[in-house]
């Protein structure tokens, strides 16, 4: 997969099949678009092109910025594009000035004049350009003028729920990770560097790898989760607690942390990067009467998680 940060460099791409969007999470709806793109590209001997933006438009336009939450980092998003078979990605710098570009101007100056698409494929609710005025109807009305075809992908339903990034974020916010995973089409995960903790877990027989995520990527509701951890290319069964460690009382209310106990692992992870994939939530975070009560509960949690991960 080739990544372009200058759209002029895309002019050599043959018979381009293009889609445009932010694609947070690269969920089942996005995957349906990519599947159609690959089908069309194969049919016409072309290549697929995803046009996306950085930073995220909501970050630049300060739209509900205090509640911004993202399902994946820019690096994780690129990895998903490649995993799902995209040939080319164009990353357009998103600025306030760029946000004022009218829809047809964006289409002509950026997409038509440079990528020269044979097809543009969009989702059922796609909008683009100034004030999000561009949509499927606009594209359909301009296809003859600019000599391209347009395809719209219907909403993808999972258990009668139309898939969207917002619905996935909402599911994670209440701890319903199983529902979020069904809408994503894969297991929700976070990747981060292990930071030094207070090492109390080790004294209880439950050493943990502590992860601190930027606020915009801390999506999951507090509680205890069954997980799988990938470290150095090896998988480990694990359980994780997300929250403020109320029994210990060393975290402020606005600084949640992820603590991960890897089963059967005995080593030093400080400064190392691990990926934690969340499969199920088993209980709320609870304040216990003391460390003995906490240890007893952790032993119960471990048995429940082992049963889930069988």
Q: The whole model's pTM is what?
A: 0.91
Q: What is the pLDDT of residue 160?
A: 73
Q: What is the pLDDT of residue 201?
A: 66
Q: What is the pLDDT of residue 249?
A: 59
* pLDDT one-digit tens code per residue, 169-212: 999 999 999 999 999 999 999 999 999 876 666 666 789 999 98
Burial class (CB in 10 A: 0-12, 13-18, 19+), 267: exposed
The radius of gyration of the chain from alpha carbons, rounded to an integer in Å, stands at 22
Query: Which regions in the chain score pLDDT beneath 50?
Result: none
DSSP 107: I
Region 188-308: CATH code: 2.40.30.30
Separation between Cα atoms, residue 27 and residue 165, nearest integer Å: 7
Helix (H) or strand (E) holding 308: helix 291-308
Q: Do 2-161 and 188-308 agree at the fold level?
A: no
* pLDDT one-digit tens code per residue, 229-268: 999 999 999 999 998 765 555 555 566 899 999 999 988 8
Whether 12 contacts 96, CB under 8 Å = no
DSSP 4: E
Q: What is the pLDDT of residue 234?
A: 94
Neighbours of 93 (CB within 10 A): 11
Domain ranges for the chain, please list them. 2-161, 188-308
Q: What is the pLDDT of residue 279?
A: 98
Region 2-161: CATH code: 3.40.50.620
Q: What is the pLDDT of residue 291?
A: 84
């Amino acid at each position: 997969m080739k990544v372009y940060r200058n759209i002029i460099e895309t002019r050599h791409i043959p018979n381009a099949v293009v889609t445009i969007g932010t694609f947070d999470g690269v969920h089942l709806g996005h995957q349906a678009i990519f599947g159609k793109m690959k089908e069309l590209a194969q049919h016409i001997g072309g290549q697929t092109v995803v046009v996306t933006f950085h930073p995220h438009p909501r970050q630049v336009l300060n739209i509900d910025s205090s509640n911004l939450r993202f399902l994946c980092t820019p690096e994780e998003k690129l990895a998903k594009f490649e995993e799902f078979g995209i040939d080319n990605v164009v990353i357009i710098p998103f600025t306030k000035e760029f946000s004022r570009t009218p829809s047809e101007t964006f289409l002509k100056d950026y997409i038509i004049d440079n990528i020269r698409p044979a097809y543009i494929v969009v989702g059922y609710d796609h909008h683009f350009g100034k004030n999000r005025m561009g949509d499927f109807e606009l594209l359909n009305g301009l296809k003859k003028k600019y000599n391209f075809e347009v395809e719209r992908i219907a909403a993808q339903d999972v258990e009668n729920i139309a898939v969207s990034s917002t619905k996935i974020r909402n599911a994670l916010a209440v701890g319903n990770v199983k529902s979020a995973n069904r809408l994503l089409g894969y297991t929700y995960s976070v990747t981060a560097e292990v930071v030094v903790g207070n090492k109390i877990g080790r004294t209880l027989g439950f050493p943990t790898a502590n992860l601190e995520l930027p606020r915009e990527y801390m999506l999951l509701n507090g509680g205890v989760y069954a997980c799988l951890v990938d470290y150095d290319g090896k998988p480990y069964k694990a359980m994780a607690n997300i929250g403020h460690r109320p029994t210990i009382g060393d975290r402020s209310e606005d600084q949640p942390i992820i603590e991960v106990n890897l089963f059967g692992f005995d080593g030093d992870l400080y400064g190392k990067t691990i990926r934690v994939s969340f499969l199920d939530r088993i209980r709320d975070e609870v304040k216990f009467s003391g460390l003995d009560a906490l240890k007893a509960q952790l032993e119960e949690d471990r048995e429940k998680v082992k049963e889930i991960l069988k």
